[in-house]
Structure 1
């Protein structure tokens, strides 16, 4: 090899080395940009959540494929790990859909918003997710659960259910439990129709089969009590439900929250002695203005705080073109939280981007502003 070719080869090798080093040494978040993992591939963990375990963050999310078909589950739930939140290692598929048509998690069903929590008593990692049955669109409105002895799986699918069958919410008055109404005779979205929704018409309808559970998240309180928060009653009302001690089933203890307000994409977190929730309206894949609320207990009552976003009209009306999926408390950094959102691309699901932004507080109200690039607080003046 002559000296000229050697020079070209060395320059190329140096370029590759520098590129790889930069990818592996990222120290900033760049919302909306491609986010490569340790293999240089855009992270594939949509609608996700984070579990911090033994010094490492684990990001679980929906594995998408190209095109519209990617909005259904053709692979399963993907997992990534990181010690700094910037650089992520591919841990592979931790819950796989199957070819067996008798299984509820058959390929082509819908698996959304997987969240994983750790049960210190059973030493098990428990995953819950929004589950729709193949060929039924969004009619099943179930939630599924899977477990593993290892954080990075594989997870074993156990069951899917409509929660709290036969149980009334703790905050539902006796006076409404036997109320009868024919919704077909009431104009949809009229004042009368909306009042009946608030009064629990869909709740009563679903008492025998179990309640609807669509967009969901999990939250574990300081005492180890776990809660499953999900959009219910045709997405009109959130249900906040206590899980069993092993986190594998529902206890029948739950409340209705923000009745009739049409919230989905809930993300619950705790700051000090207050509980906060960020959620979105119900506009399908299209982004809308975020909502926020506060309570003294996961069971509420919840007080609305309004849109947490600051910025231009377009930014705040669309939550920076994103929808909430999780709020991440950063370990070792007091009062530091990250808003995790998805910028959906339903025409090509795999190209969905991640919108991670710092949450600040003004007068005990969460505030989210846009940054093209940002990093966690290390020096004064930084987040």
Structure 2
């Protein structure tokens, strides 16, 4: 039967190993290294070296409402997150008390060595007007990934309205912005060399969608977005193309439509290229309109390939970021 102490040691070793790897539990409260609920809603991921940085809307209760906040976290394994910084922006261009900052995404420009944050800037065009009348993109820059970001400007990309924005960096390092142009559709736009503006439009998909996300996987581009239903979840859909310029396929559901994407909305498709396999993670927000500070995150590895993208039923899962291997637990 063996020595009891030896068996106890092996059991403890296995337990510690499982704990060290960690488990992602979609939809549950996710806490940082300080034991506080992670505030990175509508967020994006930037990888620098072996470290992942997660930026998103900080919506904790009790904040000064005249300012808008971006939470910054870091992780080596995508499971355990360290709080790095709270980035605050006052009203940058006198937009007014009801100005809006949403969906921050950070890019690193290898030429300028600058970290460039894109964000959805909005608010009423005039006092008493509709809350989402500005429909602009804002830019802020920093010399450090978790530094003080200096607001630079806002604009409408190529003159078009922009509300929800998405982030995409292709395998060759080219950076793109995904924008939601309410009158016309879903736009994918190439950034300028310094990432401080839009060089050109790659495509306009005439679908009224927000929460745009994009991934390049085995020769195909997969674009994901959600319908315009406010804070309420809906069936997210995807289309494919061999080129960003299109043509794009018809949109199909990423999950059974009755699940409404399991109560979530897309924000990013994160590709992990490992030594054994390449995995794609659907990052979604489970919004709680009346208690936004308690909104959750639904992250799941998708089933992807040959023009098909499926979001499986959310279950606890693990990932090895070195090998790229994910495992869904019972």
1:335-350 to 2 correspondence within 5 Å?
335-350=278-293
Distance 1:355 1:244 in 2: 32
In 2, Cα distance between equivalents of 1:351 and 1:158: 31
Per-residue deviation, 1:379: 11
Aligned to 2:5: none
Instruction: Name the counterpart of 1:265.
Output: 211
In 1, the alpha carbon distance for the partners of 2:53 and 2:241 equals 28
Which protein has the bigger strand share?
2
- RMSD (Å) for aligned C-alpha atoms: 2.7
Alpha-carbon distance in 2 for matches of 1:291, 1:219: 17
Distance 1:297 1:104 in 2: 40
1:78 Cα shift?
Answer: 0.7
List structure 1 segments (4+ residues) > 4 angstroms apart after TM superposition. 104-108, 377-381
- Distance in 1 separating the partners of 2:279 and 2:326: 14
Secondary structure of the residue aligned to 1:320 is helix
Q: For residues 94 and 47 of structure 2, what CA distance do their matches in structure 1 show? A: 29
Q: 1:296 to 1:156 in 2, by over 3 A?
A: same
Give me the whole-angstrom Cα distance separating, in 2, the residues matched to 1:381 and 1:125: 30
> Partners in 1 of 2:178 and 2:66 — Cα distance?
22
* Preserved contact between residue 273 and residue 324 of structure 2 (Cα < 8 Å): no
Partner of 2:267: 325
Q: Find out whether 1:360 has 2:303 as its counterpart.
A: yes
Q: For residue 84 of structure 1, what is the aligned residue in structure 2?
A: 77
TM-score, structure 1 normalization = 0.74
1:285-330 CA distance string (max 9 Å, x none): 10000110111222222213401115xx532xx1000000001112
Number of matched pairs: 306
Shift of 1:335: 2.3
Q: CA–CA distance in 1 between the matches of 2:250 and 2:82?
A: 38
Q: Which has the larger radius of gyration?
A: 1
TM-score (norm 2): 0.85
1:97 pairs with 89, 97, 100, which one?
Answer: 89
After TM superposition, give the deviation of residue 382 of structure 1 in Å.
Answer: 2.7
- The Cα of 1:340 is off from its aligned counterpart by 0.4
Select the residue among 33, 42, 46 that pairs with 1:38.
33
Structure 1 66/379 Cα, relative in aligned 2: closer, same or farther at 3 Å? closer
Structure showing the higher helix proportion among its residues:
1
Structure 1 residues 62, 107: closer, same or farther in 2, change over 3 A? farther
* Runs of 5+ consecutive residues of structure 1 not aligned to the other structure: 1-20, 165-209
- Where do residues 212-231 of structure 1 align in structure 2 (5 Å cutoff)? 212-231=161-180
